[in-house]
Structure 1
Amino acid sequence: MAAGTVPVWASELDSVVVYAQGALCRRLARGTIPAGGRVRVAGLPRSLDPDSLRARVVGASGVRVTEARVDVEAEPQDSGRGDALLREVERLREDCAAAQGRRDRQVTLIEEIGALRPVPPARKRDDPHRRTPVDAWLAFADFVDERLTVLHSRLRELEEELRRVEHELTVAVDRHCRASTDAPAAHVAASFGAVLTLDGTGQVEVEVEYGVPGAVWVPTYRLTHRRGDDAGRLLLRASVAQRTGEDWTGVRIALATADLRRRTELPRLRSVRIGRSQPAPAPSGWRAHPEGLNGLFTGYDTAGPRPDTGAVPSLVGAAAPSAPPAPPPPPAPVGYGAPAAPDRAEAVFAQAYGSGDPTPPAEPRTRARPRTGARPAAAPAGLAPAAPGAAPPPPPAASSGFAPAPPPAAGPPRPESADLDYTALVLCGPEEPEGRRGRLFPGSGFDPVTAEYRRRAEAVAALPLPGHAVRPRESAGSFDHRFDAAAPADIPSDGTWHTVTVGEIPVGLRTEYVCVPSVEQTVYATLVLSNATAQALLAGPVEVTVDEDYLLTASLPTLAPGGVCRVGLGPAEAVGVTRRTSLRESTSGLRNNVTVLDHGVHVELANRLSVPVRVEVRERVPVTSDADVRIEERADWTAPEDDGTPERHTPGTRLWRVELPAGGTAVRDGRYEIRIPAGKALTGGNRRS
């Protein structure tokens, strides 16, 4: 059945699952199954992966899809917004080149006028020395000065015009680059569709699923907190960029950390029996060619060569016609914006569109490959093996086109992935060589236009990430997670970042104040955030809002379910801390051979807030690796314990956790002694540090 006679069903994009790189789209189409059961679902993007096409019938019993394949149709289209942007870029490019030329000519004219110098007439041998009139020098200098003033004024105008045109060109190029790729840029649009074969009758709804490259996402967060409260709201958002060739308008968005291209089927583990016969391997879906295939073309070969209909008849008495001249090589495919001259306009244009050099075509998805288990073709009569004792035949000429056939691989044939793609296999005709005709080989499915669409789509993966952003594949680790957006979203196919609100995440929050007065007498406010969900919170930037005022943007690490982390809020000026130290040196022992260094620490805290706070004061006690040197602590501080946060404490860290009421103060005193034997003391050393 011809493609034009197949009924066409319109489809609408229903949902999209964006993976770490790439997306899985689902379209819905409705209609009545025609006679024959073949329909064409239109609206698929040009950059889709044909191998990922899936189709099923939704909510209808007894109707199923027996075949699904990608179909391409070309149709003319009117000039749209994309062509208008392209024409605007071309016009500004020409204006920029003209302005550059006028500016260069003005600079050349200024250089010519500035190079003018008075040249005295040649003096003869017997002529006396002559004095040059001063008025002539001054008149010449006035002429050059006036001329340069006029030329420089004109040069300033031309440079200002050139800057304006370059700015307009840059803006137009940026608008064209950010424009949606949903609308094709050619006058002939090639639309992709799915040709389905349905088994059944009646009104049905069909779901078409396909994968596309050119979609990425990174998680972002927004944390809202009120000072003094132990609760807050963590809003999960996502920055999504896509250039798949279709606009996502009003679709349900889901975000996944998995790799779309990774194979997910489970491996089949087969047992190996030693000393017993092995069971026959399972069929692989491919079988070797039948024997005696070349006999099918015996009649075709005995008929002789086919007459050449394109040969030129010879004329009696006329000279032999000369060979027709070789056709000129086709022009190199120059990309849009290829520079013709190294000027500033081309530099601006090339910066946005690249150098325009032709790139080699992408590797085709399927190629005709020789089968590893195929029988070698029979040798021609002229290359038959010589009789014993005869001289070896001369090697064939390099221009004959015959290459030595590789020896067949040992063992059963192993089909490649292209050999199992039955829809792409092509039956070779009798004109093919003897080893290929009558056999199925993968056809050349390379489409340069589609390859260019896919190349542009995959360029989205190179977009620079927002600040503090981490790719989900790196932060998810060994586990995969999925997040469903609460409402439909609109994401155009322009290759720029767009923010999508996913939903609110329940988290536990508590405010703690931390200070290290031995380093800095400043108290810092922190939020201790705990993940109370069954999913991990991925690493990414978090915007912190305190009392409805934006405070800062911090970096949130990856939090497993139940994980805890700290988010710094900066200095808390309403909570003050003061630290004083004292040192007393003495000796002890029977012969006063032990030096005792008694250190005292005095810390005062003051809370000037209207709510009670909890302050964690951190001190440090010296540690020693010498058993003879003893350190004795006399304070009520404690060693840090594992509180679930990934924070690591320095050895010797001690903590005071002080509860301060509103407007209250607190004092903490601590002491520790360092006992050093006389043989371990450092004479003249700084024992106070």
Structure 2
Amino acid sequence: MTTTQAVSWYSTLDAVTVYAQGALCRRRARGTVPPDGRVRVTGLPRALDPGSLRVRALTPDGTRVTEARIEIQAEPTETAADPADALRHETERLHDAYRAAEERRDRQRGLIDEVSALRPTPPAKKRDEPHRRTPVDAWLALADFTEERLTALHTRLTTLEREYREAEHRYETAVDRLERASTATPSAHLRTEVSALLTLDTQATEAELELEYGVPGAVWVPAYRLSYRQGDGGGRLLMRASVAQRTGEDWTGVRLSLATADLRRRTDLPTLRSLRIGRRQPPPAPSGWREPPTGLTDLFTGYEAAGPRPTPPAEAVGGAAPTPAPAAYGGPPTAPPPPPFAGAAPTRPGAPRARSAAPAMAMPPGAPPLSAFTPPPPAPALPPPPSTPPHPTTPELDYTSLVLSGPQEPGDRRGRLFPATADPVADEYRRRAEAVTALPLPGHAVRPRESAGSFDHCFDAAARADIPSDGTWHTVTLTTVPVGLRTEYLTAPSAEPAVYATLLLSNATAQALLAGPVEVTVDDDHLLTAALPTLAPGAVRRLGLGPAEDIKVVRRTTLRESTTGLRNNVTVLDHRVHVELANRFPRPVTVEIHERVPVTTDPDIRIEEHADWITPPEATGPDHHAPGTRLWRLDLPPGATTALDGGYEIRIPAGKALTGGNRRS
């Protein structure tokens, strides 16, 4: 199939699914099917992965796609100007203006320094000369001149400083526009077009196709906005996403989906082979390998008979340009020389050659001379086929990308099909696209693969979105999630006499909420931006909102040391804890007080608790409590004050007590 034989169809980008890294794009194309069914769909990006192309027919009339492959065309253009080049030239012009303004400002500062350094210098006094009076008028005249000159210079410096700041601002703005410019703009001098060459099997006159392909250079992170009113048991969580892409094509009006999965992860299932005992075995699965055709060794016999290509004398001297062969040889100047004619005398190695009408063939050092009766060297034989057919790899089974090896290849590769070498230009496009993965993340943002854990989810945008290929973050709205909310207050008075407000978020949906920044709005007033933890379906997590000034806490402790036992051989450390809480809010609040009790692994040391606090259940992850944590939970009415008392005793045998040690911690 060639591009001149195929009918061109224009395609539009319809949907994009952004994964943790990379994206899967879907284009749609519609047109009239030619009689031969050959179609060329244009508009594909340069950085696409050729092995990811998938095409299917959308019309329910039995249309099938029997062949699909990628073709890249590049041709010079004669356009007058390129927006990217114009922006680059404008940036260079503003850079020159910025440097010129900086030089004018620095030169003005130098003039001010020179004038400020003017000082009156009296002439040198001779030995017998009497003391001279100081000319005050001259001093005052110099001071007036310096003041007048500095006033004018500083006025001019103020103007130059303003011009310098304006030039700097214009230059930085142009640099920012250049960095944010879309990479989908084609070059003004070379137009590169990536197309999909398709062959359709259909009886219809028109068909609609969907092309799917993968591209690198796209990332996303989740973001949220939480709105609720005090006293309500629920809230509204708006899920958003920050998306950045540098794939080489602008996503305009596309149906956007965001997935936490890895696009490059293999999803094929392993083949489990069974082991059977006996003579009857299942036939081996076909591997797709075929033996080389017979007579492949004779394909290059004529090429070998011509002998090696002679080395031009000019190249042996020092790299001069080769001269064309004389016209007496016949044929064009670039034609290879004919083989030696019959009756030519053999040449002896090392002997001077006689001048003749035809140059002698180049011989390797130490090789025997060739004569008219010397047969041509035989072509190297191909290795015998293996006893069992080999199993080709995936690139070797991609028959559309195989290339026939020419005569310059080694003997075991001549005339055979091998995978094509990598395209360095396409690799450079993909390397530039993947540079977006190093983009700095927004505050409190977490990459999807780090927060998703062992599950994968896909989120659909609420409406079609526009994401230009500029490598910067763009915010899109995904969906609204109803969440359960309960306000609680935490305090650890042993560490800090402060009470902190928290929100208990419960995810009652079947979709996970990934970790990311959340803007909290209470009663239509923005409160703060916090970090939302990952919320699995049905999970409950705590979100901190900062200190609560309307709840006061005071903690007092007392220690009484005594001895007990038959011989007073046990030291008893009696710790008493007294906590007071005051609620200044006009509504009831729930407060959780955290305390710590010492823990020990020595069976001889006993710790006895005297309080009505509770021991939190064992948990892992962010909800994990330190060993020895104890909790008080209570509800405080508006304006109420309460007191909590607790304590513990530490009983230490006399042989294990530390003399002068600190037993209070």
Question: How far off is 1:207 after superposition?
Answer: 0.4
Question: 1:226: which partner in 2?
Answer: 229
What are the within-5 Å matches in structure 2 for residues 18-167 of structure 1?
A: 18-73=18-73, 74=75, 76-77=78-79, 79-96=81-98, 98-99=100-101, 161-167=163-169
* 2:422 equivalent to 1:419: no
SS of the residue corresponding to residue 93 of structure 2 reads: helix
Question: 1:440: which partner in 2?
Answer: 417
Question: 1:247: which partner in 2?
Answer: 250
SS of the residue corresponding to residue 521 of structure 1 reads: coil
Distance in 2 of aligned mates of 1:254 and 1:540: 18
CA contact (8 A) 1:616 1:658 kept: yes
Distance in 2 of aligned mates of 1:526 and 1:147: 65
* 2:168 equivalent to 1:193: no
* 2:324 equivalent to 1:312: yes
Question: 1:182: which partner in 2?
Answer: 184
CA contact (8 A) 1:76 1:189 kept: no
Q: Which amino acid aligns with 1:228?
A: G
Question: How far off is 1:542 after superposition?
Answer: 2.0
* 2:188 equivalent to 1:211: no
RMSD of aligned residue pairs (Cα, Å): 4.4
CA contact (8 A) 1:272 1:278 kept: no
Question: 2:260: which partner in 1?
Answer: 257
* 2:539 equivalent to 1:563: yes
How far does the alpha carbon of each residue in 1:52-110 deviate from its partner, in whole angstroms, 9 at most, with x for none?
Answer: 11110014231111111223344654535333312312322343455566678778999
Question: 1:268: which partner in 2?
Answer: 271
- Are residues 146 and 233 of structure 1, via their aligned partners in 2, closer, same or farther at CA, if it must alter by over 3 Å? closer
* 2:12 equivalent to 1:12: yes
Question: How far off is 1:284 after superposition?
Answer: 2.7
SS of the residue corresponding to residue 267 of structure 1 reads: coil
Question: How far off is 1:168 after superposition?
Answer: 2.0
Distance in 1 of aligned mates of 2:561 and 2:306: 118
Aligned with residue 579 of structure 1, among 536, 555, 577: 555
- Are residues 117 and 2 of structure 1, via their aligned partners in 2, closer, same or farther at CA, if it must alter by over 3 Å? farther
What are the within-5 Å matches in structure 2 for residues 229-378 of structure 1?
A: 229-272=232-275, 281-299=284-302, 312=324
Distance in 2 of aligned mates of 1:171 and 1:90: 12
Q: Which amino acid aligns with 2:448?
A: P
SS of the residue corresponding to residue 635 of structure 1 reads: coil
CA contact (8 A) 2:574 2:649 kept: yes
Question: How far off is 1:273 after superposition?
Answer: 5.6
Aligned with residue 468 of structure 1, among 444, 449, 453: 444
What are the within-5 Å matches in structure 2 for residues 487-502 of structure 1?
A: 487-502=463-478
Question: How far off is 1:669 after superposition?
Answer: 2.3
Which shifted more, 224-233 or 259-268? 224-233
CA contact (8 A) 1:60 1:204 kept: no
CA contact (8 A) 1:565 1:645 kept: no
Q: Which amino acid aligns with 1:243?
A: R
* 2:612 equivalent to 1:636: yes
Question: 1:395: which partner in 2?
Answer: none
SS of the residue corresponding to residue 168 of structure 1 reads: helix
Question: 1:673: which partner in 2?
Answer: 649
Distance in 1 of aligned mates of 2:398 and 2:449: 30
Question: 1:341: which partner in 2?
Answer: none
CA contact (8 A) 2:5 2:38 kept: no
CA contact (8 A) 1:563 1:645 kept: no
Question: 2:174: which partner in 1?
Answer: 172
Question: How far off is 1:657 after superposition?
Answer: 1.3
Aligned with residue 659 of structure 1, among 618, 635, 651: 635
SS of the residue corresponding to residue 649 of structure 1 reads: coil
- Are residues 5 and 625 of structure 1, via their aligned partners in 2, closer, same or farther at CA, if it must alter by over 3 Å? closer
Distance in 1 of aligned mates of 2:563 and 2:325: 125
Distance in 2 of aligned mates of 1:678 and 1:384: 100
Question: 1:320: which partner in 2?
Answer: none
- Are residues 686 and 231 of structure 1, via their aligned partners in 2, closer, same or farther at CA, if it must alter by over 3 Å? same
Distance in 1 of aligned mates of 2:491 and 2:325: 102
SS of the residue corresponding to residue 560 of structure 1 reads: coil
* 2:523 equivalent to 1:547: yes
Question: How far off is 1:433 after superposition?
Answer: 6.2
Which shifted more, 499-508 or 192-201? 499-508
Question: How far off is 1:645 after superposition?
Answer: 7.5
CA contact (8 A) 2:297 2:382 kept: no
CA contact (8 A) 1:37 1:199 kept: yes
* 2:525 equivalent to 1:523: no
- Are residues 133 and 670 of structure 1, via their aligned partners in 2, closer, same or farther at CA, if it must alter by over 3 Å? closer
How far does the alpha carbon of each residue in 1:418-460 deviate from its partner, in whole angstroms, 9 at most, with x for none?
Answer: 4333222233455766555433333455253x44432221111
How far does the alpha carbon of each residue in 1:313-367 deviate from its partner, in whole angstroms, 9 at most, with x for none?
Answer: 6599xxxxxxxxxxxxxxxxxxxxxxxxxxxxxxxxxxxxxxxxxxxxxxxxxxx
Instruction: Flag structure 2 segments of 5+ consecutive residues without an equivalent.
Output: 313-321, 329-361, 369-379
Instruction: Flag structure 1 segments of 5+ consecutive residues without an equivalent.
Output: 122-127, 317-379, 387-403
Distance in 1 of aligned mates of 2:241 and 2:616: 36
TM norm structure 1 = 0.75
- Are residues 68 and 636 of structure 1, via their aligned partners in 2, closer, same or farther at CA, if it must alter by over 3 Å? same
Which shifted more, 11-20 or 68-77? 68-77
SS of the residue corresponding to residue 509 of structure 1 reads: strand
SS of the residue corresponding to residue 3 of structure 1 reads: coil
- Are residues 298 and 549 of structure 1, via their aligned partners in 2, closer, same or farther at CA, if it must alter by over 3 Å? same
Q: Which amino acid aligns with 1:482?
A: C
CA contact (8 A) 1:23 1:215 kept: yes
Aligned sequence identity (%): 65
Q: Which amino acid aligns with 1:619?
A: E
- Are residues 679 and 237 of structure 1, via their aligned partners in 2, closer, same or farther at CA, if it must alter by over 3 Å? same
SS of the residue corresponding to residue 167 of structure 2 reads: helix
Distance in 2 of aligned mates of 1:520 and 1:107: 54
Aligned with residue 455 of structure 2, among 479, 482, 488: 479
Q: Which amino acid aligns with 1:312?
A: P
Question: How far off is 1:602 after superposition?
Answer: 2.7
* 2:510 equivalent to 1:534: yes
SS of the residue corresponding to residue 623 of structure 2 reads: coil
Distance in 2 of aligned mates of 1:438 and 1:172: 55
Which shifted more, 150-159 or 598-607? 150-159
SS of the residue corresponding to residue 396 of structure 2 reads: coil
How far does the alpha carbon of each residue in 1:293-314 deviate from its partner, in whole angstroms, 9 at most, with x for none?
Answer: 1313445655789999x95365
Question: How far off is 1:516 after superposition?
Answer: 1.8
Q: Which amino acid aligns with 1:639?
A: T
Question: How far off is 1:601 after superposition?
Answer: 2.6
Distance in 2 of aligned mates of 1:142 and 1:662: 75
How far does the alpha carbon of each residue in 1:527-555 deviate from its partner, in whole angstroms, 9 at most, with x for none?
Answer: 12233233332222222222222222222
Which shifted more, 489-498 or 432-441? 432-441
Q: Which amino acid aligns with 2:423?
A: F
- Are residues 100 and 608 of structure 1, via their aligned partners in 2, closer, same or farther at CA, if it must alter by over 3 Å? closer
- Are residues 118 and 431 of structure 1, via their aligned partners in 2, closer, same or farther at CA, if it must alter by over 3 Å? farther
Pairs aligned (count): 602
Which shifted more, 207-216 or 623-632? 623-632
- Are residues 274 and 521 of structure 1, via their aligned partners in 2, closer, same or farther at CA, if it must alter by over 3 Å? same
SS of the residue corresponding to residue 174 of structure 2 reads: helix
